[in-house]
Amino acid sequence: MVYIPRSDLEKLCADIFIALGIPREEAFDSAGILVAADARGIRSHGVARIKRYADGIRANLIKGNIKPTVVRETPVSLVLDAEGAMGLSLSKKSMERVIAMAKEHGVGFCAIRNSNHFGIAGYYAEMAARQDMIGIAMTNTAALGVPTFAREAMFGTNPIAFAAPGLEGNMFSLDMATTAVTRGKIEVMAREGKTLPPGWAVGTKGLSAADPVKLLDDMLFQRGGGLLPLGGAGESLSGYKGYGLAVMVDILTAVCSGGVFGGSVKDSGITSARVCHFFMALRIDLFRDPTEFKQDISRMLDELTALKPAEGADRVYYAGLKEQEAEARSEKEGVPLTDGVWKTLKETAESLGLKPIDVPVPHL
């Protein structure tokens, strides 16, 4: 691993986006969200995706300086056609609008169609949590997930994020795919030359898949096979629950916005599919005093971490704690990247005439 100071890494990624024609504010918003993923230890959704973004921008499938079309608007809701805008910066701006609605009316919603990859869903849910609100964010993705008892993909990894604030910046922050793993984790396994464990995915015959490179290729060209729903294969481990959650995300993101869902959401060979998002913010004081609410959240989290760990385990976590601790380490030590990701990032920068940052990158 190499460790890059966060501000330097954000600037390099933003400079890449700017060199590709993305306006400065959108570029820095987008870079900040991608780097946040790596800072939190979510390598599947971080700067490793820069090259794929660059290819999409060059092909005019991802666009900067787009003003989304307002399809429908009320005091508490908004439906947008993104017109192919940068999903990262658009989602940040959209969540800011949802939070503003909630500040005035108690709740705010936004459904977006025809957008692009938006990074980690938790980033947006946490934006609301920091404003004494409960935040929810979802997105559909290209069809990668295989329904229970099927052998063909018919829904995306379709992540759900939920965040609720505690005291002193602590929060419960759930950010989960509705498949057993994300495609990004399959990509990490492929980059590292590893074999997939049982229970992650199935091949074209609906049986367990082990080769990540072949699985990625089969999913891209929709030959069959894909990721298993959360819970795994069949009914014994409740895979049908993950399957149901994935369809729920398609309903809130795509059906509510009038966008594309299910097997019709397809990646191309160079970039990710046009997708749909859903955001919600709910003001806590609709229910009770925010300080009392946060006190109870903190007490709940303390009770969870105070539990006696199972034999062989070091400690008990709650959703978001590992990421919060990783982000704190990244602030001190730098954002961790694999050698391969750092090399690809530098090559992308150099191909655009940029000089990569010259910083010490010790192997810790």
Tens-place pLDDT, residues 21-51: 999 999 999 999 999 999 999 998 999 999 9
pTM of this prediction exceeds 0.75: yes
**Which residues of the chain have a pLDDT value below 70?**
358-364
Confidence at residue 308, expressed as pLDDT on a 0 to 100 scale: 97
CA distance 228 to 206: 10
**Which amino acid appears at position 152 of this protein?**
E
Confidence at residue 184, expressed as pLDDT on a 0 to 100 scale: 81
Please write down the HEC assignment for all residues of the chain: CEEECHHHHHHHHHHHHHHCCCCHHHHHHHHHHHHHHHHCCCHHHCHHHHHHHHHHHHCCCCECCCCCEEEEEECCEEEEECCCECHHHHHHHHHHHHHHHHHHHCEEEEEEEEECCCCCCHHHHHHHHCCCEEEEEEECCCCCECCCCCCECCECCCCEEEEEECHHHCEEEEEECCECCCHHHHHHHHHCCCCCCCCCEECCCCCECCCHHHHHHHHHCCCCEEECECCCCCCCCCHHHHHHHHHHHHHHHHHCCCCCCHHHCCCCCCCCCCEEEEEEEEEHHHCCCHHHHHHHHHHHHHHHHCCCCCCCCCCCCCCCHHHHHHHHHHHHHCEEECHHHHHHHHHHHHHCCCCCCCCCCCCC
CA distance 4 to 1: 10
Confidence at residue 183, expressed as pLDDT on a 0 to 100 scale: 84
Closest CA to 279 of 82, 145, 127, 105: 127
Confidence at residue 362, expressed as pLDDT on a 0 to 100 scale: 53
Confidence at residue 80, expressed as pLDDT on a 0 to 100 scale: 98
**Which amino acid appears at position 313 of this protein?**
A
Confidence at residue 62, expressed as pLDDT on a 0 to 100 scale: 95
Integer CA distances (angstroms), 345 to 43, 46, 195, 338, in order: 14, 11, 25, 11
CA distance 28 to 14: 5
Confidence at residue 221, expressed as pLDDT on a 0 to 100 scale: 86
Strand partners for 282: 107, 134
CA distance 121 to 116: 13
